[in-house]
Amino acid sequence: MPEGHTIHRAARRLRSVLQDRPLERVDARGAHLVEAGASELLRGAVVTGVEARGKHLLVHVDRGVTIHSHLRMDGVWHLYRAGERWRKARRRAWLVLGSGGWDAVNFDGPILQLHRTDELDLVPSLAQLGPDVLVEPFDDAEYLRRMRLDGERELGDAIMDQRLVAGIGNIYKAESLFLARVDPWRRVNDVSDDELVRIRETATRIMHDGVLDARAITYRGPGPEGKWAYGRAGRPCRRCGGPIEARAQGEHQRTTSWCPRCQS
């Protein structure tokens, strides 16, 4: 599933071609959008904002409505110059937003909905979100408050709960905890506020790099670029040389990678 850096980068790119411009071309094929008459409602509307909230992307227009997108595992946003050949089949395009010389295309988007902008706080998936790790200023007090509500949970599981802190997925969970030198198997109650803030600050820093680079690269040499811990089970730790381990964690059994030596 795309993590927060991917959504923030998509929002930045869509903003660069749609912000303060009228939607001249709209083709809405997603079931919820068709039911809402989105093509007719959005055509001619001016985009007033594009924002990311955790793993959700929102496009606001001046007619009091907002397009809500979540990519889940398979969705993606592409930008094309008008008339440019698409890299995916047109039958997989669930929403096209065109303005001037650009088309923003959502392919395979499992969640595409239209909401009243003044009722976004009533949308459960948005209303329940914790503070977004990539939105500044970040509210560390609220982050700590939410994390402490689930104190018996293992840290590597809790840090991915979007209701506690928004935007972190499996890759940045592993990388943030490794770089902060914190054991993912500790209970939240056993982790200090200073450690929790250090994890969050690390996540913010490396995910900002991901927004700029368009890649989740956290290790930059010596040797090939890549990750510190994620996806490296059985290979030597880049820091201490001991083996990286990995096993399933939490209710959803997501794989957690870590170094038992560096994160003890």
* 61, β-bridge pairs: 47
Catalytic residue, chosen from 55, 153, 200, 232, is: 55
How far, in Å, CA of 12 to CA of 79, rounded?
11
Catalytic residue, chosen from 3, 51, 154, 175, is 3
| Mean pLDDT score, 4-22 | 97
Q: Is 2 a catalytic residue?
A: yes
What three-state secondary structure class fits 217?
coil
Tens-digit pLDDT profile for residues 143-193: 999 999 989 999 999 999 999 999 999 999 999 999 999 999 999 999 999
For 71-166, list the strands marked E by DSSP.
76-81, 93-99, 102-107, 111-116
Q: Choose the catalytic residue: 25, 239, 254, 260.
A: 254
Does 3 participate in catalysis according to the annotation? yes
pLDDT exceeds 80 at position 1? no
Any domain includes 264: no
Which residue in 2, 200, 227, 232 is the catalytic one?
2
Q: CATH number, domain at 29?
A: 3.20.190.10
* Strand-strand pairing, 254-258 and 245-249: antiparallel
Has 254 been annotated as catalytic?
yes
Question: Residue for token digits 């809402």?
Answer: 36
pLDDT in tens, 63-115: 999 999 999 989 999 999 999 999 999 999 999 999 999 999 999 999 999 99
User: For residues 166 and 131, is the Cβ–Cβ distance under 8 A?
Assistant: yes
Q: Are residues 122 and 235 in the same domain?
A: no
Whether 167 is covered by a domain: the verdict is yes
Q: Is residue 214 part of a domain?
A: yes
248 falls in which pLDDT band (50, 70, 90)?
very high
| 241 within 8 A of 186, measured Cβ to Cβ | no
Residues 150 and 222 in one domain: yes
Could you tell me the pTM of the whole model? Answer: 0.93
Quote the Cα angle for 253-259-263, to 5°.
Answer: 100
Query: Is the domain of 150 the same as that of 101?
Result: no
What integer pLDDT is reported at residue 106 of this predicted model? 98
Structural domain range at position 73: 4-127
